[in-house]
Chain A
Amino acid sequence: MADVEETLKRIQSQKGVQGVIIVNSEGIPIKTTLDNTSTVQYAGLIQQLVLMARSTVRELDPQNDLTFLRVRSKKNEIMIAPGEGRPGTKVRASPQKC
């Protein structure tokens, strides 16, 4: 438990990270650093995306599997790390501009 907290804290403290959400395989956000409405919105929308992406990768090559998914948009970037069974952590980061 403590490790989990520590990991989350570490991620959150990185530069540019706006928030972290942990979602389980059923789409229920377990832990989050954002407000409830946004969390629910993210959890619902991204779950489908992850499932689709994973099935795409698997279909192209059954031995392959999805390791990471980045959705980069004009304003920010959503980074998704899917776990086996549970979709996993999502981080909302803002992209840097040099």
Chain B
Amino acid sequence: MEIVNVLMKRRSEFNRLRGFVDSDFKKLVDMSPDQSTSEQPIHKDQSVQAGQEMSEHETNTVGLEFISHGMNHVEGGWPKDIDHENMEQTIRFRKKAGKNEAYISSILQLGSVMELCIRQNNAIDKYEQYFEDEEEEEENHNAPYAKTMNVLRDPHQVKRTVTSLSWSPDRGRKLAAAYSSVVFQQTSQLSTDSYIWDVEKPSIPEMVLKPPSPLVCLEYNPRVSYTLMGGCYNGQVAYWDTRRGCQTVAYSSVEHSHKDPVYKVIWLQSKTGTDAFSASTDGQVLWWDVRKLSEPTERLILDLSKEGNLGRALGGISLEFEITMPTKFMVGTEEGLIISCNRKAKTPAEKIVCTYDGHRGSVYAVQRNPFLPKNFLTVGDWCARIWSEDIKESSIINTKNGVSELMDACWSPVRPSVFFTVKMNGVLDIWDILFNQSDPTLSVKVCDGGLYSIRVEENGRLVACGSEKGEATLLEISSGLSVPQKNEKSLVAAMFERETKREKILMGRQREIRLKERCRSEQSREEEVVREDGEESPQELLARAEKDFYSMVEVELKRRRKGKDLIQEQVVCEDKQT
């Protein structure tokens, strides 16, 4: 049945404005249910909203087990009736095969092919190895790169900064990371755990270390690969043995430890392998024997006036100790000075040997060049400086000031001219001073936050850097930066010597100038003594002041002119010398 409703309209009324009017409803169509269909209902045992029933199964293919073993080749191919052990039968078979027509023709043909190749072989040895004696020179013209291998993240919710990293001495398979908060007084909710990670397994740490308070620094013992020493935020020092588990084996007593966070701990070379020393911003450097951590074995207060006054001591932030020079060590302080100390001095006053006026801020890292121990690298404020031990006034090489503060640095253990620095803007810089002194050879942005610590592994290829968000990133350096080049050590040594000489000359020049000034000021003092006998009126004073001023200006001008001549003379002398 079609339901049709016809509407009729005059053409002239098209497109006129509609005027809608209310009206009563009209029933157009009424369709009532068909009674016949209700006599045969179809039951569906299902509510309308239900969906199809489905079931889920999981299957996994059966793992196949492979065993590889050799197979014994038994002579095969013989036709069934011939027993291949039987010599007679085989010989007879062979003879029969030899008489086959096809056999003869193919042999003749193949024989000629074979002869050709043999003759070729005998004529020239095609595959000769040329230049066997020369070594393969790997010319890396590729740009240096640093690839991120793995990121080890702090498993806790509240991320803590990775303040210190240490590679395990057994070829760097493990990395120990110390986590703490550098923000003042935030430690209440943070967990105190620090971790040892296995480099291959970035998802969970291999071992958890539980110190009494968060660790600020952590070091593996380079001799005994399963012991670690850590410095805590509350000033205690703790000692672990990884064979014994995650609790500290021993930690120092609170009364005798540092009063401020222990910023650096270094193991010493000793026969027993149990000595270490630590530095902290409370101004002390303490020596410990791990067998008896209740008290430090020795104490040094970083007071420059050599009185042992703790109140005037400088806070130590970084330590440096080189195994080849066991009696000397260096401390980088919060105030920007680097103090070089002698461990074997008899009195505490003599322990502090000299200071280097380093940076405008804390000296975050001090490290000697592993190949040329007379030179060391320091970072602090916005630049990195390289120093020579002999020159105390200034560094021999500075990098220019960067955009953000440098937080940590280390030399590459395989290449004498390469060092790594990390900055607060998350950038890792790799410097090669033989290649380029003004800019880093490679700059890699590792993460968004600041990078707080860096450590290079012994083979020079893997670098671990720790960020403030609790991530320790492992990077692999290209071989160009991790393989030592020829003559590198001598070139770097020559460069350092050259810079040292330059600084010495500059210093000598300055000393001369100062000496002259002193002489002149002594002379003018004598004159003054003579003149001060009578009383002077203000005008006379003024006149005298003017006269003095003009005479000083003239002297200065004369000196400058002489200075220029002297410098020229010196340059000439230098040229003559070299």
Contacts and interface: CB of A to CB of B under 8 A. Distances in A.
B125 A96 contact: yes
A30 B97 contact: yes
Contact of B106 (A17, A44, A83): A83
Interface in A39-95: 40-41, 44-45, 67-68, 70, 72, 77, 79, 81-86, 88-89, 91, 93, 95
A3 B110 CA distance: 12
Interface in B76-127: 76-79, 93-94, 97-99, 102-104, 106-115, 117-119, 121-122, 124-125, 127
Interface string B3-30: 0000000000000000000000000000
Contacts of B110: 81-83, 88-89
Given A45-B73, A79-B114, A14 B122 contact: yes
- Size category of the binding interface on chain A: 35 or more
A94 to B, nearest CB: 9
Contacts of B106: 83-86, 88
B117 to A, nearest CB: 6
A31 B110 CA distance: 14
A14 B97 CA distance: 26
B548 to A, nearest CB: 93
B114 A11 contact: yes
A47 B76 CA distance: 11
A7 B109 CA distance: 10
Interface of A is mostly: mixed
Contacts of B136: none
B383 to A, nearest CB: 56
A72 to B, nearest CB: 6
Interface string B132-164: 000000000000000000000000000000000
A80 to B, nearest CB: 9
- Size category of the binding interface on chain B: 20 to 34
B97 A10 contact: no
Interface string A26-37: 111011000000
Interface in B265-316: none
A14 B116 CA distance: 11
A28 B73 CA distance: 13
B100 to A, nearest CB: 9
A64 B128 CA distance: 30
A77 B76 CA distance: 25
A95 B108 contact: no
Given A83-B109, A95-B127, A97-B128, A28 B77 contact: yes
Interface string A1-25: 1011001101100111100001010
Contacts of A11: 111, 114-115, 118
Given A24-B77, A98-B125, 4 more contacts: A3-B108, A7-B111, A8-B111, A96-B121
Interface of A: 1, 3-4, 7-8, 10-11, 14-17, 22, 24, 26-28, 30-31, 40-41, 44-45, 67-68, 70, 72, 77, 79, 81-86, 88-89, 91, 93, 95-98
11 contacts: A7-B111, A10-B115, A15-B122, A26-B76, A26-B78, A81-B110, A81-B113, A88-B107, A95-B125, A95-B127, A96-B125
